Amino acid sequence: MTSTAEAIIPKFDDDESDGGRTLAIICSKGNLDMAYPGLILANAAIGEGVEVHLFFTFWGFDMIIKSRMNDLKFSPSGNTAMHMPVGDVRIPQALAPLPGMQPMATHMLKKQIADLGVPEVPDFLEHIVASGGHLHACRMSADMNHVTLDDLYDGVEDIINASDFIELTAGAQLLFI
């Protein structure tokens, strides 16, 4: 009996079998540390062939306002998981609001992120757009911040209201960050 074993070839499942998976990510936070989860997951999903829509709203608007996006901050205040650079020692919450703590914590976080080869927020958005991801800005947040599309990062496609976004992402999986 001759049996020819079938060649082992990865199944990329990129034909119709993925059913056109779509992921919607709502970015509602403007702190540096909370900007990254949405960007990292969006990037990962796009790299897996998933259609991705990011919706920036409320504090998340700082991620796409040109004059603010380069300068997001990270504060240890209210974050009990903030540790000293080495070991498991937590920074006492009484010290967290002191002058100098926020710039120091921001600087440290930016360095840690850069050391991993992960881009800063504007570069990350550019990479996501180049990869085929879609960026949408929230209408109410735009009105609250008195900004128009011109004030927003160039890769942002449009300013849409909540209903538009819900309609746009019919059937999508959704993440609220």
Partner 1 sequence: MPVTTIAGHEIHVDDEGFMTEYDEWSEDLGKELAAAIGVEMSDDTWGPIKFLRDDFKAEGGHTPTLRRVSTVGGFDTKKLFEMFPKKPAKKMAYIAGLPKPAGCV
* Contact positions vs partner 1 (CB under 8 A): 5, 7-12, 14, 40, 43-44, 47-49, 116-119, 124, 127, 130-132
**Min dist. Cβ of residue 31 to partner 1 (A):** 19
Closest CA to 24 of 3, 2, 6, 46: 46
> How far, rounded to the nearest angstrom, does the alpha carbon of residue 172 sit from its chain's CA centroid?
17
Contact 27, 57 (CB under 8 A): yes
Query: Residue 107 corresponds to which amino acid?
Result: H
> What is the Cα–Cα distance from 74 to 71, expressed in whole angstroms?
10
**Min dist. Cβ of residue 19 to partner 1 (A):** 13
Nearer to partner 1 among residue 14 and residue 88 (C-beta) = 14
> What is the Cα–Cα distance from 104 to 109, expressed in whole angstroms?
9
**Min dist. Cβ of residue 162 to partner 1 (A):** 29
Nearer to partner 1 among residue 95 and residue 114 (C-beta) = 114
**Min dist. Cβ of residue 33 to partner 1 (A):** 15
Closest CA to 124 of 25, 12, 21, 14: 25
**Min dist. Cβ of residue 155 to partner 1 (A):** 12
Nearer to partner 1 among residue 139 and residue 155 (C-beta) = 155
What is the side-by-side strand order in the sheet with 173-176?
156-160, 134-138, 51-56, 22-27, 173-176
